[in-house]
């Protein structure tokens, strides 16, 4: 099928590359010429394991190309994905101006033939109908400019198709989804989407192709939009829940890791997303939970549980600093080393990362902050970072520190030379903000080890 993906941010690029890989003819559009140039040269503008390789392969095999010309994209695709950003405004609402601009642009380039316009961006509930209106606005604006009559045949339908991919395992998640959600009030559009996803539904590119086909959930437009918010809000709340239990564990002397295992084996609860620590961050959870709270507010409903999940999370980020105070007492003049900066491993993403709040609070208390992160230290990317010295290796980081805090559960942090690092420090204290390291191993290396509820 001929597909156009508009917006080559995280979601757009991964979607475009993966759909090309399943055999479709994909043209990705981005209005950033520099980015288009970079992608045309076979380079991915984002760090995601396996993405550049897959991108190059599909470009070489002629199924994937890039343009900055929206008209060319709209012409090319029978299915047009809108995958531009919907960042949170300071109020918590989503900023939908990019979606609006793209929808209007699609309208202004729509000619004859039937198209499916797919909302892949996480948009406020009710956006499907709104996108339809904006596309139609775009159509009439063009017709006015061209002096054509309003009865030129323009046929399209809008589908909401939320994505659930996680940074760091985006390609795996795309080829091995738990479900595919398609929301539309039109059967023809739903049928085309089902056809588009057939190779994925049949698990042709899955790790285990013998599993039964991927369930396809077909809903109306608003329900599909709500599924995305509800899923992310549930997962964020689940983490806040286990973090609350961890804080109580700390006080009563229980171990949250054992508790999580004990409750997670109940199949109604499940083992996943019960890892206690310094809380959730990133580009999705904080934005989506706030947006849902805001939507509820608009309809005169106070989402108390979701608000509490956010409050627990904000407090949880500073739990690492509280533990440093318990260990070191006065933090003024002390040097604290952070292991990891990104909001989770296998990404270079610092958006709403707990590290940012921790650095700010440590600075406020007069501590000197250093950090080592496997990706940030390498790439030199410092977007949004201030008040921290980024070191190039873990031993340089440890040198002269009064304590280390593990911020991100990067795999390579399991096997650092901790005994050497302990000797380089003023005092060998380690706060494990992800309950990730082995206490015994760290204690043998000479550290005083402190977990979160563990
Ligand atoms: C999330 C959703 O998982 C994905 O379905 C959606 O499409 C986008 O948002 P992502 O933000 O990439 O994906 O990361 P995820 O792996 O879900 O982790 C989110 C945050 O929660 C991270 O900061 C992580 O460290 C934290 N987390 C996760 C915990 O603190 N404990 C856990 O048990 C799991």
CA of 279 to the centre of ligand 1 (A): 9
Residue 66 three-state SS? strand
Which burial class, exposed, middle or buried, applies to 52 when counting CB atoms under 10 A from its CB (0-12, 13-18, 19+)? middle
CATH fold of 318-450, please?
A: Rossmann fold (3.40.50)
CA of 410 to the centre of ligand 1 (A): 14
User: For 398-449, how does the pLDDT look when each residue is reduced to its tens digit (9 = 90+)?
Assistant: 999 999 999 999 999 999 999 999 999 999 999 999 999 999 999 999 999 9
User: For 228-282, how does the pLDDT look when each residue is reduced to its tens digit (9 = 90+)?
Assistant: 999 999 999 999 999 999 999 999 999 999 999 999 999 999 999 999 999 999 9
User: How far is CA 244 from each of CA 69, 239, 292, rounded to the nearest angstrom?
Assistant: 49, 9, 22
The ligand 1 atom nearest the CA atom of 165: 7
Task: Give the mean pLDDT of 32-39.
Answer: 97
**Is residue 97 scored above 60 in pLDDT?**
yes
**pLDDT at position 433:** 98
**Fold matches, 2-219 and 318-450:** yes
- The protein residue whose alpha carbon is closest to atom 16 in ligand 1 is 166
Residue 220 CA to residue 419 CA, distance in Å, equals 58
User: For 370-408, how does the pLDDT look when each residue is reduced to its tens digit (9 = 90+)?
Assistant: 999 999 988 876 667 899 999 999 999 999 999 999 999
Residue 101 CA to residue 252 CA, distance in Å, equals 54
Nearest to 182, CA basis, from 222, 132, 216: 216
Which burial class, exposed, middle or buried, applies to 437 when counting CB atoms under 10 A from its CB (0-12, 13-18, 19+)? buried
Task: Give the mean pLDDT of 148-163.
Answer: 83
Given CATH 1.10.1040.10, say whether it is the number of domain 228-315: yes
Ligand 1 in contact with 229 (CB < 6 A)? no
Ligand 1 in contact with 232 (CB < 6 A)? yes
CA of 109 to the centre of ligand 1 (A): 37
**Is residue 153 scored above 80 in pLDDT?**
no
**pLDDT at position 425:** 98
Residue 186 CA to residue 156 CA, distance in Å, equals 10
CA of 282 to the centre of ligand 1 (A): 7
Ligand 1 in contact with 183 (CB < 6 A)? no
The ligand 1 atom nearest the CA atom of 283: 11
Please tell me whether the interface predicted TM-score (ipTM) of this complex is above 0.85. Answer: yes
Annotated active-site positions, please? 284
User: For 290-325, how does the pLDDT look when each residue is reduced to its tens digit (9 = 90+)?
Assistant: 999 999 999 999 999 999 999 999 999 999 999 999
The mean pLDDT of the chain is: 95
**pLDDT at position 6:** 98
pTM reported for the whole predicted model = 0.93
- Domain boundaries of the chain, sorted by first residue: 2-219, 228-315, 318-450
Residue 422 three-state SS? helix
Ligand 1 in contact with 282 (CB < 6 A)? yes
- The protein residue whose alpha carbon is closest to atom 26 in ligand 1 is 280
**Is residue 37 scored above 80 in pLDDT?**
yes
**pLDDT at position 378:** 86
Given CATH 3.40.50.720, say whether it is the number of domain 2-219: yes
C-alpha Rg value of the chain to the nearest Å = 24
Nearest to 403, CA basis, from 301, 330, 453, 347: 330
Ligand 1 in contact with 239 (CB < 6 A)? yes
Residue 14 three-state SS? helix
């Amino acid at each position: 099928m001929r597909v156009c993906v508009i917006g080559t941010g995280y979601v757009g690029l991964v979607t475009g590359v993966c759909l090309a890989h399943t055999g479709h003819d994909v043209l990705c559009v981005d209005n950033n010429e520099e980015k288009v140039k970079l992608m045309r040269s076979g380079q991915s503008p984002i760090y995601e394991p396996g993405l550049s390789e897959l991108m190059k392969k599909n470009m070489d095999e002629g199924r994937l190309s890039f343009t900055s010309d929206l008209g060319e994209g709209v012409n090319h695709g029978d299915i047009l994905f809108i995958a531009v950003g919907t960042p949170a405004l300071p109020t918590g609402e989503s900023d939908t101006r990019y979606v609006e601009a793209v929808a209007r642009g699609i309208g202004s380039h729509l000619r004859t033939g039937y198209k499916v316009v797919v909302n892949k961006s996480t948009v406020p509930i009710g956006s499907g109908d709104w996108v339809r209106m904006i596309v139609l606005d775009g159509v009439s604006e063009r017709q006015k400019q061209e002096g054509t009559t309003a009865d030129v045949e323009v046929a399209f339908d809008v589908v909401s198709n939320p994505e659930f991919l996680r940074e760091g395992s985006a390609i795996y998640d795309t080829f091995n989804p738990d479900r595919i959600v398609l929301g539309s009030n039109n059967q023809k559009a739903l049928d085309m989407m089902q056809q588009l996803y057939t190779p994925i539904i049949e698990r042709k590119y899955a790790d285990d192709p013998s599993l039964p086909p991927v369930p396809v959930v077909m809903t109306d437009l608003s329900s599909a939009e709500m599924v995305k918010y509800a899923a992310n809000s549930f997962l964020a709340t689940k983490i806040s829940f286990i973090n609350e239990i961890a804080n109580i564990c700390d006080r009563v002397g229980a171990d949250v890791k054992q508790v999580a295992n004990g409750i997670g084996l109940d199949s109604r609860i499940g083992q996943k997303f019960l890892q206690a620590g310094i809380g959730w961050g990133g580009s999705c959870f904080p934005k989506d939970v706030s947006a849902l709270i805001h939507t509820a507010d608009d309809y005169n409903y106070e989402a108390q549980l979701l608000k509490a999940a956010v409050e627990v999370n904000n407090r949880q980020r500073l739990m690492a600093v509280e533990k440093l105070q318990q260990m070191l007492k006065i933090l003024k003049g002390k040097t604290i080393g952070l292991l990891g900066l990104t909001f989770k491993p296998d990404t270079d993403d610092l958006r709403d990362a707990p590290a940012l709040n921790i650095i700010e609070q440590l600075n406020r208390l007069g501590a000197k902050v250093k950090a080592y992160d496997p990706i940030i230290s390498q790439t030199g990317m410092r977007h949004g970072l201030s008040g921290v010295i980024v070191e190039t290796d873990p031993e340089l980081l440890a040198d002269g520190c009064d304590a280390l805090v593990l911020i991100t559960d990067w795999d390579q942090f399991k096997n650092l030379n901790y005994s050497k690092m302990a000797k380089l420090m003023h005092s060998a204290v380690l706060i494990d903000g992800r309950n990730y390291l082995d206490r015994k191993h760290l204690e043998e290396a000479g550290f005083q080890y402190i977990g979160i509820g563990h």
